[in-house]
């Protein structure tokens, strides 16, 4: 907790160039980009970083092939280029993956039509990925035996990308980057209100942990609150061109359905793309697309029934998946940016995830609407240009603010890990060697983890059964990751609670060990808080 306390004390200590409200992907990228260019930045979030929409994604980094049908070719082109850039910048985290798409009898197009679309999609992405292939039902079945091809009329395979790790972890690494560039970033700090005084924004905030209130001063205010952007703008008396409508999406995490490392894509009963996505030792299936009026959503019986019904219709499993197979759920809203006139009348299912930045130059206020993980680098760069246009000096303009360390550093790490025989300690159930995982999650900080393991080999052991999280990672989490509540570690800094059932986590000896390492004297309190949350069930 020392990191959080240090950062918290910095928030009211000076007038910052920029205050970013919201630590999802938009806010995290904006904070990293601005601080990387030399601006003094403060970042707050009323919950944990990536605690809302950004932790409920499909873990896909894709160019938006579904937008081809609605004719959003400019958006598709932009997203494909963003996808390619992320693959190049984060080769350990963002990786190309094949999508095997099955077309069933009764679909609105002959399978050759979407296959031709996949070729155009490939070309719009500069032919950066492996090229598409058309397949007859027999070839589909041979390629992936669990697909039920009894009503299939054909299909095709194409490439996009996905996050090898957790989406929330990817977002946090932008926050960690902002901290390394000198930003003051704190979770569990609630925005209350803002006012303008002599050309300065004075924002009143509350520390949710202690219930203390204080003020943060900044020259520019950025509203990156995701689904709550409109609410915060009302409190700041800020009028904008765009606003949000909400789409609820859920995913179910179930035992691994296939050993093949590819995404299976279908068209669900509502016409929407439906995915079976690899997630290490598990499989993620979904999603739904339900219009809702509020960003506060939960998984309903109808949601679960929809996903299970669609997956059981399309896969030839030894037995149908049921509620008893569900290990975890993901449920959140997609904030979709629209204008009051025109786009509001567009078919809801065809609304895109494009982002929009509304800028009030007179009051030095930015609002970020919509967006998705794929577009995060564009958001960061556009925010930098907007803030520069407001007169904020950026002394380190042009400095790279994203991406993995240089390949030579990676090779040095893997070489050192190899000399230690680290990968021989990899658990039998693990989805990848320890060295690859530590590098992907921690970059050049992983050298410190090697040194710790060298001193104490016990630190290379798995902390909680059925996961890949090691004891050595607790030190990193305590010192550098601002873990404030146990769920921050289990759900967002790692994906422990996505791959292991709540009951298994609760009875794991490693859970108490994690609390002791992270919270010290407050360990019992934090453990009881988490267990009470499990007992209460979904909010």
Write the DSSP string, 76-120: HHHHHHHHHHHHHH-TTTEEEEEEEEEEETT-SS-THHHHHHHHH
Residue indicated by tokens 């003094």: 40
Please report which helix (H) or strand (E) contains residue 451, including its range.
Answer: helix 446-455
Contacts of 209 (CB under 8 A, 6+ apart): 188, 484
Do β-strands 355-360 and 282-286 pair in parallel, antiparallel, or remain unpaired?
A: unpaired
Closest CA to 129 of 189, 83, 176: 83
Non-local (6+) Cβ contacts of 451 within 8 A are: none
What's the pTM value of the predicted model, to 2 decimals? 0.95
User: What is the DSSP-derived secondary structure letter of residue 50?
Assistant: T
pLDDT of residue 341: 67
Q: What is the pLDDT of residue 34?
A: 98
Q: How far is CA 106 from CA 37, 109, 133, 269, in A?
A: 53, 8, 22, 11
Nearest to 368 by CA among 83, 84, 33: 33
Q: Which of 282, 228, 274 is nearest to 253 (CA)?
A: 282
Name the token pair of 535: 């007992």
Residue 7 token pair: 């950062």
Distance (Å) of CA 74 to CA 64, 68, 77, 81, 532 = 11, 10, 5, 11, 48
In angstroms, the CA 383 to CA 421 distance is: 44
CATH architecture of the domain with residue range 68-164+245-349 = 2-Layer Sandwich (3.30)
pLDDT in 10s for each residue of the chain, 539 residues = 699 999 999 999 999 999 999 999 999 999 999 999 999 999 999 999 999 999 999 999 998 898 888 888 999 999 999 999 999 999 999 999 999 999 999 888 888 999 999 999 999 999 999 999 999 999 999 999 999 999 999 999 999 999 988 999 999 999 999 999 999 999 999 999 999 999 999 999 999 999 999 999 999 999 999 999 999 999 988 999 999 999 999 999 999 999 889 999 998 887 788 899 999 889 999 988 889 999 999 999 999 999 999 999 999 999 999 999 999 999 999 999 998 765 544 455 567 788 999 999 999 999 999 999 999 999 999 999 999 999 999 999 999 999 999 999 999 999 999 999 999 999 888 889 999 999 999 999 999 999 999 999 999 999 999 899 999 999 999 999 999 999 999 999 999 999 999 999 999 999 999 999 999 999 999 999 998 888 776 54
**Can you tell me the distance from the alpha carbon of 443 to that of 298, in angstroms, rounded to the nearest whole number?**
35
Using DSSP bridges, classify how beta strands 184-186 and 41-44 pair: parallel, antiparallel or unpaired.
Answer: parallel
Who's near 241: CB < 8 A, 6+ residues apart?
339, 356, 358
Task: Give the 3-state DSSP-derived string for 358-398, with helices as H, strands as E and coil as C.
Answer: EEECCCCEEEEEECCHHHHHHHHHHHHHHHHHCCCCCCCCC
What CATH number should be reported for the domain whose range is 1-54+167-241+352-389? Answer: 3.50.50.60
pLDDT at position 140 is: 95
Report how far residue 284's alpha carbon sits from residue 148's, in angstroms, rounded to the nearest whole number.
18
């Amino acid at each position: 907790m020392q990191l959080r306390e240090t950062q918290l004390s910095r928030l009211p200590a000076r007038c910052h160039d920029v205050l970013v409200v919201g630590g999802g992907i938009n806010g995290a990228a904006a904070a990293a980009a601005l601080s990387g260019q030399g601006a003094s930045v403060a970042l707050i979030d009323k919950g944990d970083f990536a605690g809302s929409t950004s932790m409920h994604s499909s873990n896909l980094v894709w160019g938006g092939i579904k937008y081809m049908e609605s004719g959003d070719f400019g958006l598709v082109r932009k997203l494909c280029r963003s996808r390619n850039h992320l693959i190049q910048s984060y080769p350990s985290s963002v990786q190309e993956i094949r999508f095997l798409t099955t077309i069933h009898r009764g679909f609105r197009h002959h399978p050759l039509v979407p296959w031709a679309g996949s070729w155009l999609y490939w070309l719009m992405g500069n032919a950066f990925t492996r090229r598409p292939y058309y397949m007859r039902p027999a070839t589909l079945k041979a390629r992936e035996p669990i697909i039920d091809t009894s009503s299939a009329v054909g299909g095709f395979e194409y490439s996009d990308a996905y996050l090898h790790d957790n989406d929330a972890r990817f977002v946090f690494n932008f926050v960690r980057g902002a901290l390394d560039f000198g930003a003051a970033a704190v979770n569990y700090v609630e925005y209350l209100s803002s006012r303008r005084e002599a050309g300065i924004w004075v924002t009143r905030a509350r520390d949710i942990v202690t219930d203390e209130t204080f003020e943060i001063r900044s020259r520019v205010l950025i509203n990156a609150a995701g689904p709550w952007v409109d609410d915060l703008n009302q409190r700041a008396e800020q009028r904008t061109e765009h606003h949000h409508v909400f789409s609820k999406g859920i995913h179910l995490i179930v035992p691994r359905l296939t050993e093949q490392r590819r995404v299976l894509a279908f068209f669900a009963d509502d016409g929407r793309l439906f995915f079976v996505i690899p997630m290490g030792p598990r499989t993620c299936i979904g999603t739904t697309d339900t219009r809702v009026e509020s960003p506060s959503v939960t998984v309903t019986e109808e949601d679960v029934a929809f996903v299970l019904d669609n997956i059981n219709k399309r896969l030839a499993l030894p037995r149908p998946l049921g509620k008893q197979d569900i290990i975890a759920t993901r449920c959140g809203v997609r904030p979709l940016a629209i204008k009051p006139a025109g786009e509001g009348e567009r078919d809801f299912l065809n609304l895109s995830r494009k982002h929009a930045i509304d800028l009030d130059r007179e009051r030095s206020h930015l609002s970020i609407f919509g967006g998705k993980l794929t577009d995060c680098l564009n958001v960061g760069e556009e925010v930098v240009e907007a803030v520069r246009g407001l007169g904020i000096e950026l002394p380190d303009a042009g400095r790279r603010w994203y991406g993995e360390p240089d390949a030579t550093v990676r090779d040095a790490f893997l070489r050192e890990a190899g000399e230690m025989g680290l990968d021989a300690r990899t658990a039998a159930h693990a989805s990848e060697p320890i060295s690859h995982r530590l590098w992907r999650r921690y970059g050049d900080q992983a050298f410190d983890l090697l040194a710790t393991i060298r001193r104490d080999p016990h630190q290379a052991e798995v902390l909680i059964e059925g996961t890949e999280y090691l004891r050595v990672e607790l030190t990193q989490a305590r010192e550098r990751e601002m873990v404030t509540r146990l769920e921050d570690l289990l759900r967002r800094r790692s994906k422990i609670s996505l791959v292991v059932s709540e009951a298994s986590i609760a009875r794991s000896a490693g859970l108490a060990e994690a609390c002791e390492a992270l919270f010290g004297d407050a360990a019992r309190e934090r453990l009881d808080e988490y267990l009470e949350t499990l007992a209460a069930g979904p909010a």
